[in-house]
Amino acid sequence: MNSEQVSYIIITPVRDEEKFIQNTISSVLGQTILPTEWVIVDDGSSDRTGQIIEQFAALYPWITVLHRNNRGFRKPGGGVAEAFNEGLGVLKTSKWDFIIKLDGDLTFAADYFEKCFDCFRHDPLLGIGGGTIYQVVEGHEVDEAVPRTHVRGATKIYKRDCWGAIGGISPTTGWDTIDEAKANMLGWHTRSFPEIKLCQLRPTGTAEGRWKDQVKCGIARYVVGYHPLFMAISCCLRIFRKPYLIGSAGLLYGYVSGYVRHFPQVNDRALIGYVRGQQMRRLLGMETIWK
């Protein structure tokens, strides 16, 4: 299948994105390959986000807006997945090759999706992919440091067969790790594309603050079932990266709080066993999905 023949749909959960959403909409409208359908889920915004997206939906019949009630607070991780899954329920088309989870604070080139689909075409086992996110810091582009096999939740592209195999995304914190772990366990490849980039206008973690963001990441690792030894070593190594102390402390606090507060973990013992097995192999210097 040529990239030009690809049919894809986008679901974008947004909350209080009036400063950025118009940039994202402009980027999508300018694509060399337009989506078949785009559902934008307003997750209870209290600013002008809802009005802005309604204006565009009135102009483009393939854009649908869904408004959720304002719960009164931002619900990182699980809230995004819940909004995404609610957006699935209002899709009008059932014919698509790729489904995309896209954040509302990104800008990207006109051939972004075309280039991404080319990557899928060259690797038939590629199930989840997406570009590399960068921010502009003091006038310079700074790429986010993530493992090559990890695709940021802000820009996830799922191949239809892979999407069906993993059963979609779980409405819980850590959904964007659970999906990749499942995909790899089932024999699919997951990969970010370093040569294809997007600019995130809101730096990662700033919506809720650095501390809360790191705590959220720690809880997510507990939910996914990270091995305690692997987590302890990760937190020690995290001390040497910015934000130096708060990053490591937040991760550890979030992870341990999962045990203390008895948060539910992913209900898949085989998946937890797979993740922990890969982590122990990495600690032993053996081949893993990450290297």
Per-residue pLDDT, 136? 87
Query: Would you state the pLDDT for residue 246?
Result: 86
Give the DSSP H/E element, type plus range, for residue 127: strand 126-137
Bridge partner residues of 141 (DSSP): 136
Cis amide leading into 228 (omega within 30): no
User: Cα–Cα distance between 242 and 224 in angstroms, integer?
Assistant: 24
pLDDT at site 1: 55
pLDDT tens column, 65-79: 999 987 655 565 578
Contact 165, 183 (CB under 8 A): yes
The token pair that represents 58 in the structure block:
């009135």
Q: What is the pLDDT of residue 60?
A: 98
Adjacent-strand bridge partners of 126: 189
Place of tokens 């040569």: 195
The 10s digit of each residue's pLDDT in 112-166 is 999 999 999 999 999 999 999 999 887 888 888 888 899 999 999 999 999 999 9
What predicted TM-score, i.e. pTM, was given to this entire model? 0.92
pLDDT of residue 103: 97
Domains belonging to the chain, first-starting first, are 3-200 (3.90.550.10), 210-283 (no CATH)
The C-alpha atoms of residue 85 and residue 72 are separated, in whole angstroms, by 20
156 strand-pairing partners: 101
Which DSSP category does 30 fall into? T
Alpha helices in the chain (DSSP H): 21-29, 49-59, 78-88, 112-122, 160-166, 175-185, 210-224, 228-238, 244-260, 269-283
**Amino acid, single-letter form, for residue 56:** F
Residue ranges in the chain modelled with pLDDT below 50: 206
Report pLDDT for 211.
87
